[in-house]
Amino acid sequence: MITRIEIDGFKSFENFALDLPPFLVLIGTNASGKSNLLDAVTFVATTATRGVDAAVAEVRGDPRGLFRRRGDGNRVDRMRFALEILLPGRLSHLCRYELDLVWAEPVGAIEGIVAERQRIVRLGPESSLRWASAVGVAAEGLRPWPVPLKAGHVIDLTGMPPVIGSGATKPEQARAELENLANTLLHSPSRPGTDVERADETILAGVWQELNLVRFLHLEAGALRRTSELGGPSRMDATGRDLPNYLRSLMLRTASDNRPLGVVGDIKMHLTGLVREISDFTVDKDDRRRDVRLEFFSPYEQRLDAEFASDGTLRMLAILASLHDDGVVAVEEPENGVFPERLRQLLNLARGLVTDLRQSVEDDGRDNTAWHRQAIFTSHSPVVLDAVPYENIAFLDMTTVIEDGVPSRVSRVRRLREDAGPVRVAGERWPRVTDSELDRFRAGVEEPV
């Protein structure tokens, strides 16, 4: 789980920082930085697990355009990222992954983005307590991490190749190999090497697996309607392509004797509760056509192929599938094609499906070795303000900062003011969102520039 993100120099961000709870909705007007924030999370995760070239190929924008443009028209030459990450187990399993990228012209190579620094820092209990207080999770579950590392211990990764893709011919094979490695290192009682080396291996495997589990959804109806190739990718891409294979993979990974459908049985239950026009769906493998396809059933028609299902139905199915998987899922504008009341229900479901850290470790009964589930949504819908607690909402807008005497427009993030609470809160860079600002957001009226 990502507990905090810091960004400087990427797209519209300047000294940006945000603490992340298990469930968060980012609201704001167009061009306020919501999508840029999701881009930043996935850009860092892809850089760490598959390298800079893969991250640049998948992010929106050209390589030089990823660097923030100042008010004088010039672009900065450095991007700095930091992700604080909660590993499985006790809340004190907090690490900080830091990545510095620069625009450079290496000798004998073309100009481009170069990783200048990459490291993992072990954080102490005070960081866990600060985060728990900031996002409202239980601090009584905090315990010392049983590895021989002090706070501030650094694992320097500068110059190292990404773990993912180093030796595996397919990304799915690489992910499976890394997951096996991470689980072995994290949960094996005896491992070769010194205690510090074993601890470093544990941290490294855990951080990379957490970053590997980050998924970004910018769903497109055409991609959601497509069949999957038999033997094709088992992971749905950002547009929703390969949803049938993804559902089949989830079923096979989570099935048991008592639950032959695994989490897909829960997905069916939630989908039929959200969409009354659908009573069931199946994931069908066709050996003759060499594909995997979705078929829906409704009370009004016996069968309904995916190509005839509504955009909203397919979007909700894809989002539900991701919410039932491990790791971080970042979803852009889930309200598209979805009726407001169904969006309200979907938001409530999402809050219940992420890892619950509001209780202590002993009280909640969860599997302490399982990978966490986290969801980050962006939205323009005022429904969010009625369906989601204010502590799970962050408001993004643009503001002006002065750099060397030059005004520049940058994205900022603010928390919502609690009832009768102060506008200015100690430790927060920007004032909290006032009731009048929220009233304008509800009415669809933009703030004056």
- Classify residue 15 as left (phi > 0), alpha (psi -120 to 50) or beta: left
Note the pLDDT of residue 94. 82
> What is the model's pLDDT at position 193?
53
Across 60-76, average pLDDT: 95
Per-residue model confidence (pLDDT) at position 153: 81
Residues 387 and 265 in one domain: no
- Shared domain for 155 and 24, answered yes or no, is yes
How confident is the model over 190-213, as a mean pLDDT?
Answer: 74
Mean pLDDT across 81-86: 94
**Is-contact 153 121, C-beta < 8 A?**
yes
Residue 164 has pLDDT above 60, yes or no: no
pLDDT of the residue at 122 = 85
Assigned domain for 386 exists: yes
Both tokens assigned to 425: 């809160």
Residue 88 belongs to a domain: yes
Residue 125 above 90 pLDDT?
Answer: no
Q: Is the pLDDT of residue 343 over 50?
A: yes
Q: Is residue 348 part of a domain?
A: no
Residue that is written with structure tokens 């180093």 in the block: 166
Residue range 66-74: mean pLDDT, rounded: 95
Residue 272 scores a pLDDT above 90? yes
Is residue 177 located within the same domain as residue 251? no
* Predicted pLDDT of residue 129: 76
The answer to whether residues 239 and 192 belong to one domain is no
Instruction: Give yes or no: residues 29 and 150 share one domain.
Output: yes
- Residue 371 pLDDT exceeds 90: no
Report yes or no: 3 and 84 within 8 Å, Cβ to Cβ: yes
47 and 185 both lie in a single domain: yes
Sign of CA dihedral 145, 88, 97, 53: positive
- Tell me how far apart the alpha carbons of residues 331 and 384 are, in angstroms, rounded to a whole number: 14
Domain extent, residue 251, equals 217-325
Residues 170 and 296 in one domain: no
Most confident residue range from 26-40, 349-363, 419-433:
26-40
Question: What's the average model confidence in pLDDT over 130-155?
Answer: 66
pLDDT by residue (tens digit) across 170-182? Answer: 444 444 544 555 5
Q: Kindly indicate the confidence band of residue 161, based on its pLDDT and cuts at 50, 70 and 90.
A: low
DSSP string for residues in 228-297:
EETT--SS--TT-TTHHHHHHHHHHHH--SS-TTTHHHHHHHHHHHH-TT--EEEEEEETTTTEEEEEEE
The model's pLDDT over 278-334, given as tens digits with 9 standing for 90+, comes to 999 999 999 999 999 999 998 877 788 999 999 999 999 999 999 999 999 999 999
The pLDDT confidence band at residue 263, using thresholds 50, 70 and 90, is: very high
Rounded CA-CA distance 118/105 in Å is 19
Same domain, 236 and 176: no
| Residues 301, 223 share a domain | yes
Proportion of the chain above pLDDT 90, given as a percent: 63
The reply to whether 74 falls in a domain is yes
Give mean pLDDT, residues 63-83. 96
Three-state SS for 188? Answer: coil
Percent of the chain past pLDDT 70, that is, above it, reads: 84
Q: What is the mean pLDDT of the chain?
A: 86
Neighbour-count burial of 72, counting CB atoms closer than 10 A to its CB (0-12 exposed, 13-18 middle, 19+ buried): exposed
pLDDT tens-digit map of 87-116? 876 445 688 999 999 999 888 888 999 999
pTM of this structure = 0.89
How confident is the model at residue 194, as a pLDDT? 59
More confident residue, 118 or 162: 118
Residue 155 reports pLDDT greater than 70 = yes
| Predicted pLDDT at 170 | 43
Supply the pLDDT for residue 365: 46
Predicted pLDDT at 165:
37
Question: Is residue 205 in some structural domain?
Answer: yes
* Distance in angstroms (rounded) separating the CA atoms of residues 3 and 128: 9
Residue 330 lies in a domain: no
Note whether 74 and 98 are same-domain residues.
Answer: yes
Domain count, the chain: 2
Q: Is 331 a member of any domain? A: no
Considering the domain architecture, whether residues 71 and 171 belong to the same structural domain is answered as: yes
Whether the per-residue pLDDT at 364 is higher than 60: the answer is no
Reported as a single tens digit per residue, the pLDDT across 6-36 is 999 999 999 999 999 999 999 999 999 999 9
Burial classification of residue 13, based on how many CB atoms lie within 10 Å of its CB (0-12 exposed, 13-18 middle, 19 or more buried): buried
Q: Is residue 68 a part of any domain in this protein?
A: yes
**For residues 173 and 359, which has the higher predicted lDDT (pLDDT)?**
359
Say whether both 205 and 253 belong to one domain: no
Does 167 score more than 60 pLDDT?
no
